[in-house]
Amino acid sequence: MYRALAERYPDAHCELDFANPFQLLVATVLSAQTTDVQVNKVTPALFAAYPDPAALAAADRTALETIIQSTGFFRAKAESLLSLSAALVDRYDGTVPARLTELITLAGVGRKTANVVLGNAFGIPGLTVDTHFGRLTRRFGWTTAQDPVAVESDIAALFPRKDWTMLSHTVIFHGRRTCHSRRPACGACSVTEWCPSYGLGPTDPGVAARLVKDAPATPAPESS
């Protein structure tokens, strides 16, 4: 299934815009309960105003909240950003640590956020168990777990560590574009012959094709 999805989404990647580990950490914290598209609209102004942990740690809370307001839950996110930036300055000399055990001590940073940063900023394999990844791995029959940590453990046992980051991107791409939560485009899916959840959504190819968002340039292989 992973091989077929990788062929379907050869350009799968982190869809948050960033230039360094600090920017990715901040963007991932902001991405909670909103879309990467919305975060990418906010971060240019945010990073222009606060280019590093020291600047963000010293930010005026009201000004920060105004910049990030459109991402939702902006007061809690502002608190997390101020706190994690201060911690980076105080404990890590303004540098984002490249260890999961250290990242998850920062405000607003759980295993999902830590694995995003490790995999995409440092090249250290990690599994990003967001809502898409959890939903699809259960639909695929790869896990029955609901808890993200348990999902991560189950999937880690199935795939080589070297594949974890790209597996995450590929599955998340599929979840955002084809295997939707409410109405998956089953008839336009490239893994139907192996998927135990085939039929949850429309199986007619024409109907399903209209549900696909941001379809890749090459069409999905026809299911047998």
Q: What is the CATH number of the domain that holds 169?
A: 1.10.1670.10
Percentage of the chain beyond pLDDT 70 is 96
**What sections of 72-182 are H helices per DSSP?**
74-92, 100-103, 111-121, 131-139, 148-156, 164-177
Q: What is the CATH number of the domain that holds 38?
A: 1.10.340.30
**Residue 130 designated active-site:** yes
- Same domain for 113 and 134, yes or no, is no
Q: Could you list the residue range(s) of the whole structural domain that residue 71 is in?
A: 21-121
Given pLDDT bands bounded at 50, 70 and 90, which one contains residue 214?
confident
* Residue 220 resides in a domain: no
* Residue 160 resides in a domain: yes
> Which residue, 89, 121, 153, sits at the end of a domain?
121
Given pLDDT bands bounded at 50, 70 and 90, which one contains residue 222?
very low
Quick: pLDDT tens for 145-199.
Answer: 999 999 999 999 999 999 999 999 999 999 999 999 999 999 999 999 999 999 9
Percentage of the chain beyond pLDDT 90 is 95
Q: Which residue is catalytic, options 41, 60, 93, 112?
A: 112
* Angstrom distance (rounded) from CA 180 to CA 185: 7
**Residue 112 designated active-site:** yes
The answer on pLDDT for 224 being more than 70 is no
- Same domain for 117 and 134, yes or no, is no
- Give the mean pLDDT of the chain: 94
